[in-house]
Structure 1
Amino acid sequence: MKRSVIETALGGLVILVALSFLAFSVNTAQVGKVSGYELNARFSGIGGLAVGDDVLISGVKVGSIVAVTLDPETFLANVRMSIENHVKLPADTAALISSESLLGGRYLALEPGAEEDVLKPGSMIEYTQAPQNLEQLLGQFIFSMQGDKDKQPSAGESAADAHP
């Protein structure tokens, strides 16, 4: 009988801890959400940018990605973001998709312009830049290094012989 009471109490404690963890997780998830106005941007590629990723200005989070869709007519990626209400962006703001690190996730970097007019809710950011493809950059670097080797004089040639 005593063993049964201990097992029941322990089971209740485990359930209580699990429910507490669940409540904490739900509250933490709500903290990261940004309520504000929405803006849109079109990109030729998004390179892994996903819903929930951060929108940053000078490294400071000012919003998050709300939706990523494909325009069936232009085949461009439409990115919808939510920006904090107190952040007023000039109409010539640029949007760039960047990486946190070589192995890290993506984020959308906004670079405010100098125009006096501000973007209104639902506006399209006109100036965008898709992310750089790391494999493509490495390939260009390797081939450029190979090209430099081909131009260097061999061990038997002098520098004067190599360049007519």
Structure 2
Amino acid sequence: MAENTTEVLVGGVVLAAAFAFGVYGAQVAGVGSGGSAAYPLTASFRSLEGVNVGTDVRLAGVKIGTVTDVALNSETYRADTVVSVRSDTQIPDDSSIIISSEGLLGGNFVEIVPGGSPFYFGAGDEITDTQGAVSLISLLLKFVSGGDSQ
């Protein structure tokens, strides 16, 4: 009888830990967040190295959305990307979107650099001013070779 009680208690602790981990994971991923609605914006990048669906979209270091879709355009050979931005955040229509890094060991994220236009992007609009990811390995190779490589 004591063995059954111990097994039930250990099982309950394991289930509680699994549930807590699931709730934490959903909060980190933003699943089920009943916050404000979002609108999609599209962009086409030469390189999306280190960016996947679910990657943060930030403006001034503040998370304002996520990457919701990534696909290779077979005609242009560019990465067509859809980002979802909170509806309470208006982005000027001359803004640029770049792939930034959190540091040498940090991951990449999508950063929106706002412009000064009095007009704003609407749902489904395309951000045409893009800058893809910069490969650290390529930069190091250029530095080692003296910058003459082409």
TM-score normalised by L of structure 2: 0.83
C-alpha displacement at 1:5, in angstroms? 4.2
Counterpart CA distance in 2 for 1:19 and 1:145 is 52
Structure with more relative contact order (C-alpha pairs < 8 Å, separation 6 or more): 2
The match for 2:5 is 6
Counterpart CA distance in 2 for 1:107 and 1:30 is 14
The 3-state SS of whatever aligns with 1:144 is coil
The match for 2:24 is 25
Q: Percent identity?
A: 30
The match for 1:118 is 120
Aligned positions of 1:69-148 closer than 5 A:
69-144=71-146
The 3-state SS of whatever aligns with 1:108 is strand
Instruction: Judging by fraction of residues, say which structure has more helix.
Output: 1
The letter of the residue matching 2:44 is: R
**8 Å CA contact retained: 2:29, 2:54:** no
Runs of 4 or more, structure 1, over 3 Å off, are 29-35
C-alpha displacement at 1:137, in angstroms? 1.2
Deviates more, 1:94-103 or 1:14-23: 14-23
Q: Which consecutive residues of structure 2, in runs of 5 or more, have no partner in the other structure? A: none
Of the candidates 47, 61, 64, which is equivalent to residue 62 of structure 1?
64
Instruction: Provide the aligned length of Structure 1 versus Structure 2.
Output: 145
Counterpart CA distance in 1 for 2:61 and 2:9 is 46
The letter of the residue matching 2:83 is: M
The letter of the residue matching 1:133 is: S
The letter of the residue matching 1:13 is: G
Alignment RMSD (CA, Å): 2.4
Structure possessing the higher radius of gyration over alpha carbons: 1
Deviates more, 1:136-145 or 1:10-19: 10-19
Counterpart CA distance in 1 for 2:7 and 2:129 is 62
The letter of the residue matching 1:53 is: T
